[in-house]
Chains A and B, each alone.
Chain A
Amino acid sequence: MTTILERPTATEADPGHTPRRRPASRSDHPLWFLVPALALLGVFFIAPTVFNFVYAFTDWSSFKTEISFVGLENFRDLLGNGSLISDLRITVIYAALVAVFQNLFGLLLALLLERDTRVNRFARVAFFVPVIMSALAVGYVFQALLKPDGGLNAMLSFVLPGEVSVAWLGSTTWTVVVVALVHAWKWMGLSMLIYLAGLKTISEDVLEAARLDGASSWQVFRQIKFPLLAPAVTFNVATALLGSMNGFDIVQATTEGGPGGSTELLNIFIFRTFGQGLFAQATTMSLTLFLVVAVLAFPVIYLLRRRERVL
């Protein structure tokens, strides 16, 4: 089994080391080519990020004309009323749920639609349509579908005995899971395509050899396909985590952070407090999001990368 775990296609060649005939002279690739892009990045990305670290410690709001430093007061307030911890927890839970669901659905769809038949090609294109749709629109569709007297309950009532009238978006415990499922529904087509591309890179000889050795389809999946999909898993988990940490549209359109703040992501809080004119508090939460993504994203990507190399 170990021999077939080697990756069939030698794509490891580092593209960073293209052989060069003669050392490029400095004036061939002048540094001023960098200036316009760096200027835009500096003004519109880096400067606001630096401002984040400054204004999170002020009392900037729409109610005052002057801005003054207040130290850690914003953090103390947000910790004191519990919103920092609870929003942070919800954001991380939401991101983790989305990463799990989106990858699970994407992988199941990829395995289901793996063969190149006419039906499968149609289905793949169809599952990609939600990816190109506006997330806000998707949110409204599911808000309607998940109403207590909406389409999902009607369908369940048809199948199950008795009348089903679950308030899918009304539970302070489970709604975050439901909304994560909606998020995963929107993006599962992308994960599916990436898993399909990953499956394509697996050599048919390897699969055939395993089958001739008497491997069951589950063994073929667990021992061969899944390990060889590691790069696809890395990409899908990383993008799903980042996308959902930054989530806003779907949650805003389905629950607006409710019920009882149980689906209030950091971005929902930022939007709401900004609308109330509490700019410093919104900035504090924005800084929190920045730090959490920075702290979580890099180790996650690093770990997934290392797993790839081990396999």
Chain B
Amino acid sequence: MSAVSLPPSPGRAPAAPAGPTGPRRPGPLARFGQPVVALGAVALLLGVPFWLILATASKPHAEALDPDLSAPSRWQLGENVATVVQDGHMVSAFLGSLLVMVPSVLVVLVLGSMASWVLARRATRPLAVVYALCISGIVLPPAVVTIVLLLRQLGLAGTAVGMIGVYCGMYLSTVIFFVTGFVRTIPTELEEAARVDGAGPVRVFFQIVFPLLRPVLATATILICLYIWNDVFYALFVIGGRIDTLPLNLYQVASSGLYLQNWELIFAYIVVMSLPLLVVFALAQRRIISGVTGGAVK
């Protein structure tokens, strides 16, 4: 680490801030060594796995039997992708992923915000208990086996509605936690002005408060989309074998005997499956990073 933060020579007076990080004056070793170490870490820790994915996904079947770091003799990423999109039912899996993710996110955002607004504004002891109960789901794991039993009793086993309900039950806690904290920082004057004008609570909430929640709802949306899009554990219990989602089908492609050893297809699947998230990430990188880290450090 010494390459990163060499102390400045003690005799020199502090210089004017050199940039957004302030007056750090790295020595020559840090100036030339640090980028080399940083890029080396990227190449070794990320370059190797990502090369393995891309190279294997592009190999003919015979070469991919034992996946190694060699380059394919003939690049056939397109063919492998076409095969796996067809055989892995990727179109219906993509739609299935959207089918469970979009309604879940919309429902938790709207219902979670409504609850958070009241929980933040009415500071009574019983509601503090309700709040604690609401956010306990952040820490406590869902009872995944009995959820299935419950869904059977409700006639929702294996349905998209059941899956959406399960995701809502899991991630309402996250929304309520984020939004309640945020609502407390919004001054009440805006609401009161609308109330003086005769607006009822529904209008006050949806016309005044809800639009103000945009930044925190963006954060929550990113987090929850990430969880649901990549979830395989809960999906296996609730809709496994009934509805296709991208991770469920990846699991099937990788674990079914038919595809055993078909590493080029597994990795082609991973390439296609990761693309939507990578595109979204590339477009909204700053927003996502500040969203995910925001609130973590106070």
Contact = CB atoms under 8 A, between A and B. Distances in A.
Interface of A: 11, 15-16, 18, 20-22, 24, 26-31, 33-34, 36-38, 40-41, 43-49, 51-52, 55, 60, 108-109, 111-117, 119-120, 122-137, 140-142, 144-145, 147, 149-151, 154-155, 185, 190, 193-194, 196-198, 201, 204, 207-208, 211-212, 214-217, 220-221, 231-232, 235, 242, 245-246, 248-249, 253, 267, 270-271, 274, 279, 282-283, 286-287, 289-290, 293-294, 297-298, 301
A249 B69 CA distance: 24
Q: A interface, by DSSP: helix, strand, loop or mixed?
A: helix
A194 B168 contact: no
Given A33-B115, A212-B10, A270-B144, A45 B170 contact: yes
13 contacts: A26-B122, A40-B107, A41-B134, A119-B39, A124-B289, A132-B288, A134-B246, A136-B247, A151-B68, A194-B297, A196-B293, A217-B7, A286-B145
B258 interface: no
Contacts of A33: 114-115, 117-118, 201, 205
Contacts of A18: 184-185, 187-188
B188 A21 contact: yes
Nearest to B20: A116
Contacts of A246: 141
A30 B181 CA distance: 19
B99 interface: no
Nearest to A182: B49
A197 B297 contact: yes
Contacts of A122: 42
A21 B49 CA distance: 58
- Residue with the greatest number of chain A CB neighbours at <10 A, chosen from B20, B119, B296: B296
Given A40-B169, A48-B143, 4 more contacts: A119-B39, A135-B230, A141-B52, A279-B145
Interface stretch (B74-82, B86-94, B211-219, B273-281): B273-281
B140 interface: yes
B111 A36 contact: yes
B111 A37 contact: yes
Given A145-B48, A193-B292, A134 B230 contact: yes
Contacts of B23: 204, 208
A142 B49 contact: yes
A217 B53 CA distance: 39
Contacts of A282: 145
Given A45-B170, A49-B143, A215 B273 contact: no
Given A24-B188, A135-B230, A128 B41 contact: no
A293 B49 contact: no
B100 interface: no
A77 B297 CA distance: 45
Interface string B45-79: 11011101100100000000011110000000000
Contact of B274 (A11, A133, A154): A133
Q: Chain B contact residues (Cβ within 8 angstroms of A): what range?
A: 35 or more
Contacts of B144: 48, 270, 286
A217 B46 contact: no
Interface in B23-55: 23-24, 26, 34-35, 37-39, 41-42, 45-46, 48-50, 52-53
A144 B52 contact: yes
Contacts of A185: 45
B274 A16 contact: no
Contacts of A208: 14, 22-23
Interface of B: 1-2, 4-8, 10, 14, 17, 19-24, 26, 34-35, 37-39, 41-42, 45-46, 48-50, 52-53, 56, 66-69, 107, 111-112, 114-115, 117-119, 121-123, 130, 133-134, 137, 139-150, 154, 165-166, 168-170, 172-173, 176, 181, 184-185, 187-189, 191-192, 195, 201, 204-205, 226, 229-230, 232-233, 236-237, 246-247, 250-251, 254, 263, 266-267, 270, 273-274, 277-278, 281, 285, 288-289, 292-293, 296-298
A105 B269 CA distance: 29
Contacts of B166: 44
Contacts of A214: 10
Nearest to A120: B38
A31 B201 CA distance: 11
B67 A144 contact: yes
Contact of B143 (A15, A31, A52, A253): A52
Contact of A112 (B4, B20, B66, B285): B4
B41 A28 contact: no
A293 B115 CA distance: 26
A28 B201 contact: yes
A152 to B, nearest CB: 8
A20 B237 CA distance: 47
B293 A290 contact: no
A27 B201 contact: yes
A15 B184 contact: yes
A112 B41 contact: yes
Contacts of B39: 119, 123
A40 B8 contact: no
A127 B42 contact: yes
A136 B251 contact: yes
A217 B139 contact: no
A116 B34 contact: no
A104 to B, nearest CB: 12
B20 to A, nearest CB: 5
Given A51-B143, A113-B38, A193 B289 contact: yes
